[in-house]
Amino acid sequence: MRHARRRVVRRVTRLAAVGGLLLGGAMVAQAAMASETPPASARTLSSAGTAGGTGAALVAKLGSARTAGSWIGDDGRPVVAVTDAQAAQTVRRAGARAKVVSHSMNELKSATVTLRSAPRVAGTAWSMDYRTNRIVVQADRTVSADDWSRMSQVAARIGTFVQMERTNGRFTTRLNGAQPILSTGGRCSAGFNVSNGQSDFILTAGHCGPAGSIWFADNQGNQQLGKTVSSNFPGNDFSLVQYNSGKAGEGADVIAIGGGKGVRITGAADPTVGQRVFRSGSTSGLHDGQVTGLNSTVNYPEGTVTGLIETNVCAEPGDSGGPLFSEGVALGVTSGGNGDCKTGGTTFFQPITKAMAALNVRLLVSAQNAGGAQGAAPAQSAPAGQGAVAPSAASPGSAAPVTGAAAQGETLLARLTDTRNVGPGLLVIAGSLIALVATRYIRAEQDRKAYQRYYSATWG
């Protein structure tokens, strides 16, 4: 029995190693790095920032009645959708490419308002596809034929630029299998470290747990990491976990990526359609893809979330709350989606700039990146403002060393010990909860596997 327990602990430790790291008290999401990141000296943001900034500036200048969004083309140049020839000339004079379209941003927004006012159907989502000048409505396999027919009728009344699509799997939040932070609300990945000037917090997904959720940072549940002090879900999908110590500590600006390495976060920004991005999560590791839509709406079973970033980056249960970034620039935290990292899928993210503005917090970055002295500590806070990056040139960001106890193999599985909280997975994992609290360690690997199997099934 003793040997069996040791095998379980060793296996759980390996799982936790890909789940997340506690860097000197700073919780960051870890991922399996696909390739070596370039040194800081080799990383540039100038051309990429110009591409995203030019498109956004032109849209702002011309207005929503004459434009319908912008994106980064395959060649890295900004493209702006416009509704008249004069606007197209303005775009070309600014050095960007123009695409004349039939429907303005005002029309696209009006269509989404109509969709939102229709009876809510769980398992549906819609986004503005700037590149095709359409609203794309998706329905997963849980949507009935009657609901599909009713939504199709609503779309037909709006116009032919609303496209209806059926998709495989289910649109769900990703609340399972992540080792970094765990409470009775479920398992999640940590996102980014932020500060309000007085205390430091983990910014993660709102569906991970309600206010009052207790999070732990050790597999015995003896080391309390912090408590959720603010949560917004549905509507939005972000929350703040306040560190018990009040400070994130050294390494607060680094996302661990395995092998003692990490990606240094240098700022925050809003993404651009067509931008190449990276997502890390404690279940599936590091993956990349492109931003395919903005201002997306998803009707999860628990409620509707709006204003999301849509991507074709894969994700799996347990990646909830994990960071979305590119070139070391923070973009969002994982909300939900469908599919997996074997077959692919659609993943939605809560924009970090919107979350920080609502919560009145600032991203923690190194003193060097914040304009202070050299070195990674003490961490400083930085507002949003980094530019978008071109899909052909993007990388996760500059390499940074990972330090701290967790870098030496300390696990980050936490116990479901806060019985005051009631989360979506509480009833399902009640048996495991009793065993964990009663014995103070994981007694049977099959409980963990059963937990994962359940949520993998709900993910589809």
Q: Average pLDDT, whole number, for the chain?
A: 74
Rounded CA separation 418/405 (Å): 25
**In the chain, pLDDT over 70 holds for what percent of residues?**
63
For residue 34 the two structure tokens come to: 């696909």
The answer to whether 96 touches 79, Cβ cutoff 8 Å, is: yes
Question: Does pLDDT of 374 surpass 50?
Answer: no
Question: Does pLDDT of 277 surpass 60?
Answer: yes
Report pTM: 0.73
Res 271: pLDDT: 95
Res 20: pLDDT: 32
CB atoms within 10 A of CB 63: 12
The answer to whether 264 touches 369, Cβ cutoff 8 Å, is: yes
For residue 208, name the pLDDT band (cuts at 50, 70, 90).
confident
Res 105: pLDDT: 97
More confident residue, 238 or 220: 238
- Poorest-pLDDT segment among 356-365, 369-378, 394-403: 369-378
Res 81: pLDDT: 98
For residue 254, name the pLDDT band (cuts at 50, 70, 90).
confident
More confident residue, 423 or 150: 150
For residue 375, name the pLDDT band (cuts at 50, 70, 90).
very low
Rounded CA separation 347/429 (Å): 25
For residue 123 the two structure tokens come to: 């398992």
- Poorest-pLDDT segment among 69-78, 241-250, 443-452: 443-452
Active-site pick, 213, 320, 366, 395? 320
More confident residue, 73 or 417: 73
More confident residue, 17 or 107: 107
The answer to whether 78 touches 51, Cβ cutoff 8 Å, is: yes
Residue 110: which of 71, 81, 68, 79 has the closest Cα? 68
In tens, the pLDDT along 380-436 reads: 555 544 444 556 567 777 776 655 433 333 333 222 223 333 333 333 334 434 434
Residues 312-337: what's their mean pLDDT? 91
- The helix/strand/coil state of 212 is coil
Rounded CA separation 416/425 (Å): 11
CB atoms within 10 A of CB 358: 12
Rounded CA separation 224/229 (Å): 14
Active-site pick, 195, 207, 319, 340? 207
More confident residue, 170 or 105: 105
In terms of DSSP H, where are the helices of 63-198? 85-93, 105-117, 145-158
Residue 320: which of 333, 307, 308, 332 has the closest Cα? 333
- Poorest-pLDDT segment among 157-166, 209-218, 280-289: 209-218
Residues 219-236: what's their mean pLDDT? 84
Instruction: Check if 147 is active-site.
Output: no
Question: Does pLDDT of 438 surpass 50?
Answer: no
Residues 437-450: what's their mean pLDDT? 40
Res 228: pLDDT: 93
Instruction: Check if 320 is active-site.
Output: yes
Question: Does pLDDT of 14 surpass 50?
Answer: no
**In the chain, pLDDT over 90 holds for what percent of residues?**
47
Question: How far apart are the two ends of the chain, measured CA to CA in Å?
Answer: 35
Active-site pick, 140, 200, 218, 237? 237
In tens, the pLDDT along 154-195 reads: 999 999 999 999 988 888 764 332 235 666 556 778 889 999
For residue 92 the two structure tokens come to: 């070309």
Residue 352: which of 371, 330, 337, 336 has the closest Cα? 330
Question: Does pLDDT of 262 surpass 60?
Answer: yes
Residues 374-380: what's their mean pLDDT? 39
The answer to whether 264 touches 250, Cβ cutoff 8 Å, is: no
Rounded CA separation 31/453 (Å): 21
The answer to whether 182 touches 215, Cβ cutoff 8 Å, is: yes
